[in-house]
Chains A and B, each alone.
Chain A
Amino acid sequence: MLIPVAMIAFATASSVGLLRDEAFGYVHRTSYIVGVPDAAVMSLRSIVPKGETLGFISDGNDPGAVGRRLYGATYSLVPLIVEKTANRRFVIGDFRNKASISIALNQYRLRFVEDLGNGFFLLASQ
């Protein structure tokens, strides 16, 4: 009988622990936005022509984090395709640091179009 008791004890302890963790996580949750906020997506659609492929540049150094931001932008803007390049008519800039915006504009010969929120900016080629 020890084995079923152990199974029940393990499952009960795990279940209670998970519920406690989730309750803690829920109480201390922070705002969670994936990619570009919905309101900015509407505005972007009025600027960017349908079927356009967008570029993507970032000031991030961690390839994993930059990848997540690229996929987040794609998720928000789909069916528009977002590619990791600066050589497009419209480019999504992902800037954690405001100072990098002007550097990127000069480096890639882009102009600022709109702040999309959540660290994303719509840029266009000059």
Chain B
Amino acid sequence: MTSVAAFISLLVPIIIGFAFVRTCIPGERHLCRHDWLRLYLGIGVGFGLCSCSFFVWLLTYGAAHVLYIAVEIGLAIMFGALAAYRATGCSLCKASMALETTLARWKHPLLILFGLIFLSACLSFALESRIYPEGQGDAWAIWNLRARSLFRGGEQWRNAFSGTLILSLPDYPLLLPGLVARSWIYTGTETQDVPVGIAALFTFATVGLLTAALSALAGRDKAVLAGIVLLGTTSFIKLGAAQYADMPIAFFFLASIVLACMQDQLPMSGAVLLGISAALAAWTKNEGLLFFALLLIAMKWTKQPVSRVLLGASCILALLAVFKVSLAPPNYLAQSGGIVIIRKLMSPSRYVLVAVGFVYHLIHFGGRRLNPLIPLGAALLLLKHTAKRGARSAAIILSGMCAGVSFVYLITPFDLAWQIAWSLGRVILQLWPAALFTCFYIIDFPPSPTAGLVFSSERPDGLRSGSASQTRRPLKYRINR
């Protein structure tokens, strides 16, 4: 019975998220192939919206209560109706298909291999979750600890942000703890199925999102190859099973960059969804705030309007402000005074340590197995790539994140070597799906000999060429027929 309740508790946010994404990116009346993309986006967005609504419930009614379930069911019905009303046609189906590459010759073997590696990753995830059902250290010391505080705390749920346990980072936002706690309302008990299920959904939704987004923008074969690379990154699967918030934030980083790259093909409500996705990254971990700021900078830099992004983000950022101002103790970075920070910034040894940390973690990236950065780096060096506006924004954001994280390390009040060893590998993994998407988006694999007549709607400068009617059906398709 508990497992059924846990399943329903995870299904309701997925329905809310899918309907919400279909409201922002309308689809056909029936399902089309781009609904996979909407579904994967919807998993994360739905979880994020439910976490936010649970926080609003706590602020309003003062404790977790079974009546909260009615709120979520109401949300599901409301967004479902809106999605049905907005189902006026899929803008992504109207865009052209991508150029066929030499990978197309391996279409079926690639798909079979993807299936096998996916199965292997699922089994590895399940075994790791059986060995460590409560997750790794940070999962129970930070995220599940806070989820228990929210669920068990009753009217004293605010004790979850007691400043006595500084290493449990009580100033971190509530996406994951709120999500777990609200699921336990459905089950009535603190079953470990819930955090494990949430971790699994975020992990495999990230793979699904990467594959579905690349399939829409860069072709199915490239998408499947990217999915294989991500599933083959052992530290990615292990991090997912660890139940850390790094996986949800990696999902929102990827979702935001995917939506930023798709802006030309989406209706205006797509920008609102982009704002929501980026704000949900900020609602997951403090790194998300840096990401959100960098997204705005990148959009301004590439001359894209930011007003709708801000509109989408406003409600979630307002909730985050309420949390930070009224509940969260100051961040550990605020412990140091201005003079101490300047002294740290003037110390060359700290710069060397951060640089060495980056080099070490990049060399050992992917766990104890083969480093997936080697073939990816070779692809970037040896293969042709096309400049695209969305990819330029992504590059600005990703390099900005590395710079921002380095700055945080430089001024940290903790022992620098310890903090780098403890967290840098995970920070790189947070950016990995988004970096993989960006690389596969810009890399041009050699075109298939039969693909010479196919054309894409996207010009190298990111602007669309030709009218929708011209680009609707690839020329190759017509000639083959």
| A interface list, Cβ under 8 A from B | 1, 3-4, 6-8, 10-19, 22-23, 25-26, 29, 32, 34-35, 51, 67-68, 71-72, 74-75, 78-79, 81, 83
Contact = CB atoms under 8 A, between A and B. Distances in A.
Interface string B100-121: 0011001000100100010011
Interface of B: 102-103, 106, 110, 113, 117, 120-121, 123-124, 127-128, 130-134, 137, 140-141, 144-145, 148-149, 152-154, 156-157, 159-160, 162, 164-165, 167-168, 225, 228-229, 231-234, 237-238, 366-372, 374-376, 378-379, 382-383, 445
B232 A15 contact: yes
A79 B156 contact: yes
A13 B376 CA distance: 16
Contact of A14 (B106, B137, B153, B367): B367
B165 A19 contact: no
Contacts of A22: 123-124, 127-128, 131
A68 B117 contact: no
Q: Is the interface of B mostly helix, strand, loop or mixed?
A: helix
| Closest A-B pairs by Cβ, 4 of them | A11-B232, A14-B369, A22-B127, A71-B141
A79 B164 contact: no
Given A51-B156, A79-B149, A26 B131 contact: yes
B149 A34 contact: no
A71 B167 contact: yes
Contact of A78 (B145, B225, B369, B372): B145
A11 B133 CA distance: 26
A8 B225 contact: yes
B372 A10 contact: yes
B286 to A, nearest CB: 20
A124 B123 CA distance: 46
25 contacts: A3-B375, A10-B370, A10-B372, A10-B374, A11-B231, A12-B228, A12-B232, A14-B366, A15-B231, A17-B234, A18-B121, A19-B120, A22-B131, A25-B127, A25-B131, A32-B131, A35-B140, A74-B141, A75-B140, A75-B141, A78-B145, A78-B149, A79-B154, A79-B156, A83-B164
Q: Is the interface of A mostly helix, strand, loop or mixed?
A: helix
B369 A34 contact: no
Given A3-B375, A78-B149, A18 B369 contact: yes
A15 B375 contact: no
Contacts of A17: 234, 368-369
Nearest to B144: A75
Contact of B117 (A11, A25, A26): A11
B153 to A, nearest CB: 4
Contacts of B154: 79
